[in-house]
């Protein structure tokens, strides 16, 4: 399960008003969702290609190499979190595409475990849930900042419980982790969407805003991927 990067930056604020702000925000959010959508396409294509090619998935998932593949996305997220302020917007965007491809490689195993119909159904359900919460985060007048610390604590708890359950193999604990995890990532979707709006309002220039769009896309992408994976573990139909 991929972890969520730190969503908020500290940047000098300036002002933008009226129609210019509304149009700028619309373009910024469109860029964020376009990055995220293309990232999901890359992930899906890589996962499907690897998962349907025995010459690729056998040596990967049939050997200790699978642990490298599974942990690689986490390494990417950590790099983003620590280096994002020192790399260019172009480099951040390139790394985001690379991350999405690596995530696709790590997710290829779902095509070996679950039926194609089950994967497709879960994807569309996840998209509907994600879309509803992102729309809420974009339109709500409620300040979601106060929920951020609880969501982060919930995320850490889900991650720890998931690691523990690797050794316990408890189906009940897995069920609890999946349900709680879905709720946490739905909350993070709304929180991050609102955060992306707030970051744009600081108006730091074209280069900074492009980088903010990439990082915003990464945050939303990770929430969607985790919602999808957790929901698939709950409702997915396995191959016979």
In this predicted model, what pLDDT tens digit does every residue of 70-119 receive, in sequence order? 777 888 788 877 777 788 888 888 889 999 999 999 899 898 889 989 99
Name the residue with tokens 């925000």: 25
Model pLDDT, residue 8: 42
Share of the chain above pLDDT 90, in %: 38
| Domain-embedded: residue 31 | yes
Determine, yes or no, domain membership for 179: yes
Rounded distance, CA 12 to CA 15, Å? 10
Specify the pLDDT at position 12. Answer: 40
Within a domain: 166: yes
Distance CA 71, CA 75 (A): 7
Q: What's the CA angle centered on 62, arms 60 and 64, to 5 degrees?
A: 75
Instruction: Count the domains in the chain.
Output: 1
Return the closest-CA partner of residue 219 out of 198, 184, 195.
195
Domain assignment present for residue 22? The answer is: yes
pLDDT at 203: 61
Query: What pLDDT is stored for residue 201 in this prediction?
Result: 73
Strands (E), the chain: none
Interval 4-42: pLDDT, tens: 554 443 344 444 556 777 788 889 899 999 999 999 999
Identify the domain containing residue 63 by its residue range: 18-235
Nearest to 138 by CA among 189, 204, 205: 189
The predicted-structure confidence for 144-161, as pLDDT tens digits, reads as follows 888 888 888 888 888 888
Q: Is 71 within a domain? A: yes
**8 found inside a domain:** no
Greatest distance between any 2 Cα atoms in the chain: 59
Residue at 63 is within a domain: yes
Is 2 contained in some domain? no
Range from 115-119, 133-137, 161-165, 167-171 that averages highest in pLDDT: 133-137
């Amino acid at each position: 399960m991929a972890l969520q990067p730190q969503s908020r930056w500290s940047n000098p604020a300036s002002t933008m008003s009226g129609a210019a702000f509304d149009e700028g925000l619309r373009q910024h959010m469109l860029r964020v969702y376009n990055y995220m959508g293309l990232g999901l396409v890359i992930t899906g294509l890589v996962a499907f290609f690897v998962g349907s090619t025995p010459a690729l998935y056998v040596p990967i998932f049939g050997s200790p190499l699978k642990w490298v593949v599974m942990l690689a996305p986490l390494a990417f997220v950590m790099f983003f979190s620590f280096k994002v302020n020192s790399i260019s917007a172009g480099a951040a965007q390139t790394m985001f595409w690379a991350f999405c491809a690596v995530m696709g490689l790590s997710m290829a195993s779902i095509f070996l475990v679950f039926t194609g119909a089950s994967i497709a159904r879960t994807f569309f359900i996840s998209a509907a849930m994600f879309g509803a919460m992102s729309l809420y985060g974009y339109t709500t007048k409620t300040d979601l900042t106060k929920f951020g610390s609880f969501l982060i604590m919930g995320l850490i708890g889900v991650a720890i419980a998931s690691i523990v359950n690797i050794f316990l193999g408890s189906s009940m604990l897995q069920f609890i982790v999946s349900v709680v995890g879905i709720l946490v990532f739905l909350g993070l979707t709304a929180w991050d969407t609102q955060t992306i709006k707030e970051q744009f309002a600081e108006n730091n220039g074209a280069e900074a805003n492009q980088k903010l769009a990439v990082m915003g896309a990464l945050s939303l992408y990770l929430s969607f991927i985790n919602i999808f994976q957790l929901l698939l573990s709950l409702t997915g139909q396995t191959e016979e």
